[in-house]
Structure 1
Amino acid sequence: VPCELIVNARHRKANPLSSDIEFEMENDYIKVDENFQTSTNGIYAIGDVNGKSHFAHIASAEGLFVVNRLNGVDEKLDLSKFPMNMYSQPEAAQIGHTESQLKEMGVDYKISEFPLSANGKAITENAGEGFIRILSENKYGEVLGVQIIANNATDMINEAAAYMQLESTVYDIAKTVHTHPTISEVFMEAGFEAVDHAIHK
């Protein structure tokens, strides 16, 4: 792709304000436990500074999690169930595990895909480039990961986030009626593909 400048912001590190308090560091980030507490009791670190994620929406979720814990709410925060977005053209978004991660974990999984080129609204909007891929557990069908490439993938991935938070299966997705014509119908089609066969593929 022709361009004039490439900016690589991958290699970040924490830059905590100078303080009399010393924090234990890990790989250039402030080390935290599963509740985001630092090595100093009563002090928590959320967002970029702990190295768990560089996404603002995940930092917000971490902050809400810490506030809830301080108010006596006992819960777990599973960062694998938070979406990641890439604002390219078309956009890309993902949530949960990737295929390579599932292979490494030894999980018996199934892949179901549906192309945007078979979606009516995407065709009429000249936006047929892209697809949805659902990775599901092979025995019971629980959704383990979703990847989307589409013009509005960063909006569509939120539906996948809801499915994963509720530990939904591909059967649940297939039974969820989607309005027509919409690009988000690709979820239902990919659900059908996982259960049996997509209707419009």
Structure 2
Amino acid sequence: MAEPFDLVVIGSGPGGYVCAIKAAQLGLKVAVVEKRKTYGGTCLNVGCIPSKALLYASEMFAEANHNFGELGIAVEPKLELSKMLAHKDKTVKSNVDGIAFLFKKNKITGVIGTGRIKSASEVEVAKEDGTTETLSAKNICIATGSDVAGIPGVEVAFDTDTIVSSDDAIALQKVPETMVVVGGGVIGLELGSVWARLGAKVTVVEYLDKVLGPMDSEVSTAFQKLMVKQGLTFKLGAKVTAVTKSDKGASVSFEPAKGGETETLDADVVLVATGRKPFTAGLGLEEAGVALDDRGRVEIDAHFKTNVDGIYAIGDVVKGAMLAHKAEDEGVALAEILAGQAGHVNYDAIPSVVYTSPEVASVGKTEEELKQAGVAYRVGKFPFMANGRARAMLQTDGFVKFLVDAETDRVLGCHILGADAGDLIAEAGLLMEFGGSSEDLARTSHAHPTLSEAMREAAFAAFAKPIHI
């Protein structure tokens, strides 16, 4: 019998493949089981990567339509959707091929098929040709990610072109004249903004009375106003009661969440983007005795171990934010723990980004959370309108907002609405990782002219006064 693997990872998304690579780098013998034909999970195949390719391409199309003339560039842009989708597909292939290369480089055994836990030391893989293979393992990591959640209490018949999930909204073969997006969270607003920029009339229906639910309210309110300027319409505080096919395409019926008359919207395409749920079906967890919580997530301790010795879980399938980089951090930490090191994840410094235009980024606490916890804090803000580089780029929408402890000046949270917010937020995350203060950042030299100077100015505003307003 072949020597058992030190680690068998089920799932090759950001959590799974990063865990596998790190474990192999630390000297462990590793295998990865993946049900898709290509590695990378939802994120690389139908999620983060393809959506960002379309977001960038559609943003360039919008720039050419609206801003190039002001910059002295005379063009008449023409949309060639097939080429834009080809760019998306090329980007996906490059990334998934890269994971296959990294597996080979790190001598990781990749097995394509559907994995199921037979015991704490065995993973059975059902292959496409009908055969099965059993992998012997000293440790098993469940990294199966998440799946489309649908709408609680509402039956939704998904297809590939009319009533769609995010998986198919990245591959529509023509721009719909009208689109209804159910869900005002990250996925719905990102993909809704893509098709709005390409010409669709987009209406967002959201159950809560604000978009981007957990985001800082000041940021989400300002963000929504910018989206309205870009042509999106919002129906907030709306409870969806039905999503059905119609003569035009599909229809969405909803009523005020607090009660009232039902309203129905018809659209060529309805995108249901109401979140995701842990993917645990068919994994053999019940038979293996692995405990789930009341939300269907795998229960783990502080070291990612389930209630069954030798079985671990990370990423979307466990508690916490469903973010690719959170899964990656957990993958690295688990690999280090299995190799005898001290793996750790600081969940207070994990950023969140919405890749719309402008972007929204956040790390740490919101004002609402600090108020609820009774924490005394100060606010430092700076608008991009006062930033020289932003003016030169015609990207003056938004602001940077720091929240700091009123007594110690330690940074408790940072929220950004503006161009390149997803990159700028890393500075705040690093500052928080080291327990830094707003004064620490403000006294750090920033190149001029850059968007990052808005970070410095907001930090100045938190402990003293900004320079440029």
Matched, 1:13 2:278: yes
Deviates more, 1:96-105 or 1:5-14: 5-14
The whole-number CA distance in structure 1 between the counterparts of 2:318 and 2:327 is: 10
Matched, 1:158 2:426: yes
Partner of residue 443, structure 2: 175
TM-score where L is the length of structure 1: 0.94
Deviates more, 1:42-51 or 1:56-65: 42-51
Matched, 1:102 2:370: yes
Partner of residue 467, structure 2: 199
Matched, 1:51 2:304: no
- Indicate the structure (1 or 2) with the bigger Cα radius of gyration: 2
State the one-letter code of the partner of 2:443: K
The whole-number CA distance in structure 1 between the counterparts of 2:432 and 2:272 is: 33
* 1:1-201 correspondence runs (5 A): 2-3=201-202, 4-19=269-284, 20-26=287-293, 27-74=295-342, 76-201=344-469
Deviates more, 1:31-40 or 1:137-146: 31-40
Extract unaligned runs of 5+ from structure 1. Answer: none
Asked if the contact 1:144–1:164 (Cα under 8 Å) also holds between the matched residues in 2, the reply is yes
State the one-letter code of the partner of 2:414: V
C-alpha change, 1:24 and 1:159, in structure 2 (3 Å) is: same
**How far apart are residue 105 of structure 1 and its match?**
1.4
State the one-letter code of the partner of 1:163: L
Asked if the contact 1:137–1:144 (Cα under 8 Å) also holds between the matched residues in 2, the reply is yes
**How far apart are residue 74 of structure 1 and its match?**
2.9
**How far apart are residue 16 of structure 1 and its match?**
4.5
% identical equivalent positions: 33
**How far apart are residue 22 of structure 1 and its match?**
2.6
**How far apart are residue 40 of structure 1 and its match?**
1.1
TM-score where L is the length of structure 2: 0.41
Deviations 1:150-187 (A, max 9, x none): 12111111111111111100110110100000001011
**How far apart are residue 75 of structure 1 and its match?**
5.1
The whole-number CA distance in structure 1 between the counterparts of 2:456 and 2:397 is: 18
**How far apart are residue 17 of structure 1 and its match?**
3.8
Extract unaligned runs of 5+ from structure 2. Answer: 1-195, 203-268
The whole-number CA distance in structure 2 between the counterparts of 1:45 and 1:17 is: 15
**How far apart are residue 13 of structure 1 and its match?**
2.9
The whole-number CA distance in structure 1 between the counterparts of 2:442 and 2:272 is: 41
Asked if the contact 1:14–1:30 (Cα under 8 Å) also holds between the matched residues in 2, the reply is no
Local SS of the residue matching 1:40? coil
Local SS of the residue matching 2:312? coil
- Cα-Cα RMSD: 1.5
The whole-number CA distance in structure 2 between the counterparts of 1:96 and 1:78 is: 11
Partner of residue 125, structure 2: none
The whole-number CA distance in structure 1 between the counterparts of 2:360 and 2:376 is: 25
The whole-number CA distance in structure 2 between the counterparts of 1:76 and 1:119 is: 37
State the one-letter code of the partner of 1:149: L
Structure with the bigger percentage of strand: 2
Matched length: 201
**How far apart are residue 80 of structure 1 and its match?**
1.9
Partner of residue 93, structure 2: none
Local SS of the residue matching 2:454? helix
4+ runs of 1 displaced by more than 4 Å? none
Deviations 1:62-94 (A, max 9, x none): 011111122233354221211111111111010
Asked if the contact 1:14–1:50 (Cα under 8 Å) also holds between the matched residues in 2, the reply is no
Local SS of the residue matching 2:432? helix
